[in-house]
Copies of this chain bind each other. A is one copy, B any other.
Amino acid sequence: MAKPSSISGFPEFLPGEQIAFNRAVDIIRANYEKAGAVPIETPAVERSDTLLAKGGNDKEIYGIRRLNADSGDDGKDLALHFDLTVPLARYVAQYQRDLVFPFRRYQIQPVWRGERAQAGRYRQFYQCDIDVIGDGELSLLNDAEMPYIIHGIFSDMQIGDFNIHINNRKILQGMFAGFSLSGEAIHEAIGFVDAIEKTGIDKVKENLAGLGLKVASIDELLELFALKEETGHAEIFSLLQSKSYNDLYERGVDELKQVIQAVENLGVPDNRYTIDLSIARGLDYYTGTIYETKLVQYPELGSICSGGRYDELTGLFSKRKYPGVGISIGLTRLLPRLMELGVIKVPLPSVAPVLVANLQAEYSGEYLKYGGMLRQAGINTEVYLENKKLNAQMKYANRKGIRVVILAGEDEFKDNSVVIKNMAAGEQETVPLNEMVKKVQVILGGTIS
């Protein structure tokens, strides 16, 4: 007997957890579609060259190869995608003539990374991405749609207070350039700022001083970082606009102001977003607006949804310029943590609230009919078909969180009635068969699911 066991880094869920996961995906998908994004799905596999050319690390990319391959097949040709951005870039370049721009698309798929087996390291995980891609140019106002979408998703998920932190990379870059740092040093400085939560503010100061930044410059920076969530937007912008390092900085401030104004116009509540000049996003990729999202009560989770604006999606694949803005939710990591914390309750493993019990096997044809009647009315229903005692059937119902059990035996068939048992209330009543569906609807509608 082979003892089956999980493979490190390749998570899977029990049915209740999977139901919770799918609900979260449904919420994300509904909010992406509400903003008009169309779905696409790319194959799990891209050419290895494509992945490596776009910044993939060959130690972390899984190639695929038939277990018993022809000897000529070197197996380096095809590989599993490590994110959804490279496939998007390839897709946009490949189908540019068929797509309608601005191209709003979402993509919810697993990605694979050849991490070392280690607790908490995922080698397969879902990314839930939305991006808007312009052909040549893309209005800054698209940047405001992202906080709007983030707000919709996490409100619908009901995971408590969250805060969308918004910044613009040009502000930091402009300031560092204004402090006379050069290209490589700016890159390093942004890396130090990005690590602020891990290292603490003193370490950031020390690191920046190490790059040659003057004490006065560091203080100017820290003044901005120290701005509190309570600080009004007007006050923040008046502070930002009182300084003038260079064009880049000023453009950053101006962009941030426009985006914040548009987020407000879209109706995102004030307490859901914050200007946070200390977020930097590690990737060089981003060139303007950047986002991070934090759960107020669980800052230790880090950012649960991040993204930003980039100037150039397709790079190697196309001469045309495709700027974009997008966000990503790493649901495979997020959801188990939310379930552990009790922020999301793991539902009992049923998608059907109703069970038709099997009291006497000779009536099974009737039980199937009753099941058919309930399903016809749009009510997910299980019919218990095994020859088990009622006790076992009620245990089955309880383990699955079934809310209504339909019972019918000799007496009920005689007068064309059924017994409807409301499991939560612990009550049951006998009703005429032709009222069964309506009665069940009332119980299901009247109870919080």
Which residues of A are at the interface with B, using a C-beta cutoff of 8 A?
1-7, 10-15, 18-19, 21-22, 33-50, 52-53, 58-69, 75-76, 78-80, 90-91, 93-95, 98-100, 102, 104-105, 110, 112, 114, 123-124, 134, 137-139, 141-142, 144-145, 148, 152, 261-262, 265-267, 316-319, 349-352, 355, 364-366, 368-369, 371-372, 375-376, 380-383, 385-387, 396, 399-400
Contacts and interface: CB of A to CB of B under 8 A. Distances in A.
Contact of A43 (B11, B67, B138): B11
Contacts of A93: 4
A4 B50 contact: yes
Given A38-B349, A38-B351, A267-B369, 15 more contacts: A4-B90, A10-B44, A12-B43, A21-B41, A36-B350, A48-B67, A62-B64, A64-B112, A65-B65, A102-B385, A139-B387, A141-B368, A144-B368, A266-B368, A266-B371
Give the copy number. Answer: 2
Contacts of A364: 141, 262, 265
Nearest to A366: B265
A63 B67 contact: yes
A38 B148 CA distance: 32
A39 B67 contact: no
A115 B289 CA distance: 45
Given A79-B67, A317-B4, A267 B376 contact: yes
A3 B49 CA distance: 12
A260 B280 CA distance: 65
A6 B58 CA distance: 22
Given A14-B98, A265-B365, A33 B64 contact: no
Given A43-B12, A369-B267, A376-B267, A386 B137 contact: yes
Nearest to A107: B18
Interface centre among A33, A100, A400 (most CB of B within 10 A): A100
A53 B4 CA distance: 12
Give the most central of A67, A375, A383, A386: most B CB within 10 Å.
A67
A444 to B, nearest CB: 14
Contacts of A35: 352, 375, 380-382
A139 B382 contact: no
28 contacts: A2-B317, A4-B317, A7-B43, A7-B45, A10-B43, A12-B40, A12-B41, A13-B40, A15-B105, A34-B352, A35-B352, A35-B375, A36-B381, A43-B124, A45-B124, A61-B67, A63-B64, A63-B65, A63-B67, A65-B75, A102-B386, A141-B368, A141-B383, A141-B385, A142-B385, A144-B368, A265-B364, A266-B368
Nearest to A21: B41
10 pairs of A and B residues whose beta carbons are closest in the complex: A36-B382, A36-B352, A10-B43, A58-B68, A66-B114, A15-B38, A139-B385, A4-B94, A267-B372, A141-B385
Contacts of A15: 38-40, 99, 105
B266 A7 contact: no
Given A41-B13, A58-B66, A36 B124 contact: no
B64 A351 contact: no
Nearest to A64: B62
A7 B78 contact: yes
Nearest to A65: B63
B59 A62 contact: no
Contacts of A124: 43-45
B114 A380 contact: no
A52 to B, nearest CB: 8
Contacts of A48: 67
A2 B386 contact: no
Nearest to A80: B64
A134 B1 contact: no
